[in-house]
Amino acid sequence: MKKDFISLADFSPQEQSDLLDLAVALKAEQRAGKAQPRLAGKTLAMVFQKPSLRTRVSFEISMHQLGGKALYIAPEEIQLGKRESVPDVARVLSRYVDGIMARVFSHQDLLTMAQWASIPVINGLSDYNHPCQAMADLLTIREHLGTLRGVRLVYLGDGNNVLHSLMAAAANAGMQLVAAVPDGYKPLPEVVAWAQTRAQQTGAQIELVEDARSAVRGADMLYTDTWTSMGQEAEAAVRRQVFPPYQINAQLLALAKPGAGVMHCLPAHRGEEITDEVADGAQSWLFDQAENRMHAEKAVLVRILGDSG
């Protein structure tokens, strides 16, 4: 049966941990200057409904370095669901390439794509979640702290796609995740419930609070994302009124553990969810995270497109 990469909730704690180990190995291999032709001759179609820097470049370069080829398909080309239906796109692409990575507005479109494609589908972000980002985030935390189990990650801001994947990832990895989110912008209750149930198996702690200042005490790292995700632009002015207490700035960071890391999936809206001082400061892990997108995605690609699985 084909394997998709749609949500970390589809993966057991062991499978997620194995994937992370593979990412660590692939990163070390590349750092040592070794060739990585694990996907020689394989092809990946990259379907985008939204803009991207990291996802587009990291997947394309990953496929290149693994000996395969990636094809970028811009939003206006396919016009997913408008020029052609999602099932038709999925079936046509399945005749040409070995895998599809898609960035979509509606998560349902991704599920439909996976249902109709005879080849693996990778989630490059939907309105619901962003699992490739969460895998890169875990890799970054593990590199900086040496472990995931028990570390305290405090997320500040919008209960969005990035937080949904972070919750699933943290629950699988046995981490403490505190999400400080204002009323009206909470993550979906079913995502929180799933993570809290998984946490009972792994020893993780998943907590939802509102007050940013009390949440950050004892944090090993702080994490934030844009207040206005792609597709929510009409709400930007309202959101700019709600979210300022959740900004990661020097004052808030000072309340966390000394030397606590600062994380952001990027792109950053400097002066909104994060200040320049913090984003460019000594505690920033932002560009390690961006780099680790590539290493984490290589592991996903090798696992689901590779012949050895």
> Which residues are identified as catalytic?
103, 130, 133, 225, 265, 293
Q: Which of 94, 133, 140, 228 binds ligand CP (CB under 6 A)?
A: 133
Contacts of 241 (CB under 8 A, 6+ apart): none
Nearest to 180 by CA among 193, 163, 201, 197: 163
Contacted by 53, from ligand NVA, ligand CP, none: CB < 5 to 8 Å by type: ligand CP
User: Considering the rule CB under 6 A, would residue 55 count as an interface residue with ligand CP?
Assistant: yes
CB-hemisphere CA count at 13 Å for 145?
24
CA gyration radius for the chain?
19
User: Considering the rule CB under 6 A, would residue 266 count as an interface residue with ligand CP?
Assistant: yes
Long-range CB contacts (within 8 A, 24+) of 108-116 = 109/80, 109/81, 110/6, 111/6, 112/86, 112/87, 113/47, 113/86, 113/89, 114/4, 114/6, 114/90, 115/87, 115/90, 116/86, 116/87, 116/90, 116/91
User: Considering the rule CB under 6 A, would residue 160 count as an interface residue with ligand NVA?
Assistant: yes
* Contact between residue 265 and residue 130 where contact means Cβ atoms under 8 Å apart: yes
Contacted by 141, from ligand NVA, ligand CP, none: CB < 5 to 8 Å by type: none
User: Considering the rule CB under 6 A, would residue 229 count as an interface residue with ligand NVA?
Assistant: yes
User: Considering the rule CB under 6 A, would residue 52 count as an interface residue with ligand CP?
Assistant: yes
Q: Which is nearer to ligand CP, 55 or 224 (CB)?
A: 55
**Residue 271 Ramachandran class (φ > 0 left, ψ -120 to 50 alpha, else beta):** left
User: Considering the rule CB under 6 A, would residue 247 count as an interface residue with ligand CP?
Assistant: no
Q: Which is nearer to ligand CP, 55 or 172 (CB)?
A: 55
User: Considering the rule CB under 6 A, would residue 226 count as an interface residue with ligand NVA?
Assistant: yes
Q: From CA 212, how far away is CA 162, in angstroms rounded?
A: 18
Q: Which of 100, 162, 290, 304 binds ligand NVA (CB under 6 A)?
A: 162
The residue of the chain with the least Cβ separation from ligand NVA equals 229
- DSSP-assigned letters across all residues of 48-69: ESS--SHHHHHHHHHHHHTT-E
Contacts of 94 (CB under 8 A, 6+ apart): 100, 116, 117, 118, 119
Q: From CA 286, how far away is CA 94, in angstroms rounded?
A: 35
User: Considering the rule CB under 6 A, would residue 265 count as an interface residue with ligand NVA?
Assistant: yes
Nearest to 137 by CA among 289, 291, 305: 289
Q: Which is nearer to ligand NVA, 229 or 289 (CB)?
A: 229
User: Considering the rule CB under 6 A, would residue 273 count as an interface residue with ligand NVA?
Assistant: no
User: Considering the rule CB under 6 A, would residue 54 count as an interface residue with ligand CP?
Assistant: yes
Nearest to 45 by CA among 107, 120, 100: 100
User: Considering the rule CB under 6 A, would residue 125 count as an interface residue with ligand CP?
Assistant: yes
Q: Which of 188, 230, 242, 255 binds ligand NVA (CB under 6 A)?
A: 230
For the CB of residue 116, give the shortest distance to ligand CP in the complex, in Å: 25
Residues from 77 through 136 that contact ligand NVA (CB under 6 A): 125
User: Considering the rule CB under 6 A, would residue 292 count as an interface residue with ligand NVA?
Assistant: no
- Write the single-letter amino acid at 187: P
Check residue 259 and report its DSSP letter: T
Q: Which is nearer to ligand CP, 25 or 71 (CB)?
A: 71
Contacted by 226, from ligand CP, ligand NVA, none: CB < 5 to 8 Å by type: ligand NVA
User: Considering the rule CB under 6 A, would residue 193 count as an interface residue with ligand CP?
Assistant: no
Instruction: Note the residues at the interface with ligand NVA (CB under 6 A).
Output: 125, 160-162, 225-226, 229-230, 265
Instruction: Note the residues at the interface with ligand CP (CB under 6 A).
Output: 52-55, 125, 133, 265-267
